[in-house]
Amino acid sequence: MEAMMSGFGDMGKTMMCAQEDSFDETRGGTHSLADQVARFAKAKKDNNARYLDITTVYDGSSLKGKRVLVTGGEQNLGLELMKEIASVIPGIDVTKDEAMATLVAGVAEPVDMVINNAGYFYGPAESVGAGENEGHLNFAQELLMIDICSVGPLRVSSALFKAGKIKEKVIIITSQAGSRRWRLTQNPPGSLDTSNPFTGNYGHHMSRASCNIMGVILSQELKPANVSVQLAHPASAARR
Ligand SMILES: NC(=O)c1ccc[n+]([C@@H]2O[C@H](COP(=O)([O-])OP(=O)(O)OC[C@H]3O[C@@H](n4cnc5c(N)ncnc54)[C@H](OP(=O)(O)O)[C@@H]3O)[C@@H](O)[C@H]2O)c1
């Protein structure tokens, strides 16, 4: 795979499944469990290689020779996605409309696929809070997360598509954190407390819910052009 990377700053600075209870894998269905802690425990119990060691079931040979543009490719998941970096397009901030012309100009030949990986997670847990448990909400950070994680992939993908620079596929690295069912499964009513790292985090979850419906709409719009749109949840990995 020949990869291009767009970045931010100086250097350039499993699929989401709509789940029904009757379809999850504890009931013989094919959809993964919404509860990721239970999902991992079950995978260990079943010695399920699909979850425990993706390399035993994944064949990446179809990517051989493909040109791929990855946003946010300087670290962690984005960096891991690229074995070979062909070129870097510096200075691409996915929140900036004006950066899209630079991005499009930097992609000389159309790419086979775009992987929208750039993302941002505001650290402090957000919650409304009441009484003794004073909450913390940061609306500016919430809007920033929505801009980077939801509007960003649309901004990038639409600019490249309209310029005729995407041949096959748009992949959006999103999160099951945008799923209402996941939220209610992982954080059932009454479970919220400030020691729970999943407490609140309004901006993160709102940004991914918005991202997920954006991806569905984008897939409808690009389908006639034979460009598919795929939403991917990368599971949980330590952030920087
Ligand atoms: N890690 C997890 O457990 C997890 C779970 C679910 C979903 N995800 C999603 O998977 C993706 C990768 O996760 P990760 O943990 O590898 O993320 P990460 O370590 O936070 O890396 C995100 C990348 O996005 C770039 N970025 C941030 N804001 C940007 C902007 N405005 N314009 C362009 N690039 C920008 C960052 O560059 P700078 O450092 O220069 O800002 C960085 O290279 C993210 O979209 C994340 O939301 C991760």
Say if residue 239's pLDDT is above 80: no
Which residue do the tokens 């945008």 mark? 178
Task: Specify the pTM.
Answer: 0.85
Say if residue 181's pLDDT is above 90: no
Q: Is 47 left (phi over 0), alpha (psi -120 to 50) or beta?
A: left
Q: Which residue has the higher pLDDT, 62 or 13?
A: 62
pLDDT band (50, 70, 90) for residue 23 = low
Question: E strand or H helix at 6, and its extent?
Answer: strand 2-6
- Using CA positions, which residue lies closest to atom 6 of ligand 1? 175
pLDDT band (50, 70, 90) for residue 131 = low
pLDDT at position 196 is 53
Q: Which residue has the higher pLDDT, 55 or 229?
A: 229
The best mutation among 6, 16, 92, 120 to test binding of ligand 1, ranked by most ligand atoms within 8 Å of the C-beta, falls on: 120
Say if residue 186's pLDDT is above 80: no
- Residues with beta carbon inside 6 Å of ligand 1? 8-9, 13, 71-72, 74-78, 92-95, 117-120, 148-149, 173, 175, 234, 236-237, 239-240
Rounded (10°) CA dihedral 68, 69, 71, 74: 70
- Using CA positions, which residue lies closest to atom 15 of ligand 1? 239
Name the average pLDDT for the chain.
82
Closest listed residue to residue 37, CA positions, set 191, 235, 239: 235
pLDDT band (50, 70, 90) for residue 58 = confident
Spatial distance between the Cα atoms of 58 and 88, rounded to a whole number of angstroms? 27
pLDDT at position 79 is 83
Nearest-atom index, ligand 1, CA of 177: 6
